[in-house]
Structure 1
């Protein structure tokens, strides 16, 4: 009903809807063009959204999604189920290998970090849920990491489901060749083993 509408809220939601796009970041002018709002109006809306971490302004002046949308998305039932299965394996990888462990999901033309476990090391790949980057190859979700390295291993997914990868990332050359791959394969094996078998295996 018309009397139930709050115009300022609807405008803020219109801004957030703009980020449902393969384009990761937007200038103020681009947001104005997409939403049809004046720049002065957008700055007020973005200011409120950024205070609650729904959007963030980068050092380049462009606007990106913050961490709050991802935090809320994790409350969605399928995501909670995925996190319950995968997060313990990421935590184990990060603890055993001492590098950043993550679950990556493919979208058309880009990859999104869904879950992550950070190591205690000061020098590390600071990856966060909701981080996105462009990709040209469907079989290679790795971002550009100058001075760093990422190893990925695909998980089995059903027809029509997004492609998922387990990953380890950190400074290049810090671990022997093949060590990351072996750790990822072991984690994938634990994920694909039914829980009852895990409980009864020696």
Structure 2
């Protein structure tokens, strides 16, 4: 029986805590260190208030004040970020997306990660067709020129803006297997770090280039939603 969600107490937040968090969340992806004036501009707080708040943040290593007076995020902020990344099960996020894609596209949906010179099928939702891919979760495949391998190789560990000359999704046919075609998109997490590849695969006689064109938007939108849920700022 599903557990009922506990109601939130009807309480007000703490103004001082909200000001602290306003300063902390003023930092954006791509920032190195910020001048006091820039933090004031982003938060609409006066400089004297920001300086007092930063003293408290420094005590917890959430912010570091540099010798030139600028501020940057501290090591504790990085630790909290890593805890967040590990605090949810990837399977719980990915598998429902695969199941929806398989049901809507009628092709096999899968999620791959890279392991050295191979790619690992981590999760999969089968096509309802009797003729389909026979790769199972846990199976390894080579890092060849297939769509899935191209996504994993092209985007590497991270892609701050993504390679501009790569058209997504990537479609290939007959690479690993002469009878199999695939359509793949990258999935990113925080700091646009590549997590894996989301793919649709099927017989090349059915998943033709024309059919892949019809499925591109559906796969792209699913990949972008999943990346957003995993912390990517798209």
Q: What TM-score do you get using the length of structure 1 for normalisation?
A: 0.51
d(CA) in 2 for partners of 1:120, 1:92: 12
Mapped partners of 1:129, 1:191: distance in 2: 19
Find the counterpart in structure 2 of residue 3 from structure 1: none
What is the CA–CA distance in structure 2 between the aligned matches of 1:99 and 1:79, rounded to whole Å? 31
Equivalence map 1:80-119=2 (5 Å)? 81-119=89-127
Conserved? CA contact 1:100–1:116, under 8 Å: yes
Alignment of 1:138-153 (within 5 A): 139-140=150-151, 144-153=176-185
Distance 1:160 1:186, change over 3 A: closer
Which deviates more from structure 2 when the two are superposed, residues 131-140 or residues 146-155?
Answer: 131-140
Q: Is there any run of 5+ residues in structure 1 with no aligned partner, and where?
A: 1-76, 196-202
CA distance in 2, matches of 1:136, 1:144: 7
1:178 deviation in Å? 1.1
Any idea what the Cα deviations from partners look like across 1:61-102, whole Å, max 9, x if unmatched?
xxxxxxxxxxxxxxxx95971010010000000101111100
Cα root mean square deviation, aligned: 3.0
Q: C-alpha distance in 2, partners of 1:120/1:90?
A: 13
Output the CA distance in 2 between the equivalents of 1:194 and 1:140: 20
Find the aligned partners of 2:200 and 2:87 in 1 and give their Cα distance. Answer: 21
Counterpart of 1:155 in 2: which secondary structure?
strand
SS at match of 1:128: coil
Give the TM-score taking structure 2 as reference length: 0.44
Compared CA separation, residues 111 and 194, structure 1 to 2 (3 A): closer
Give the length in aligned residue pairs: 119
Q: How far apart in 2 are the matches of 1:153 and 1:120? A: 22
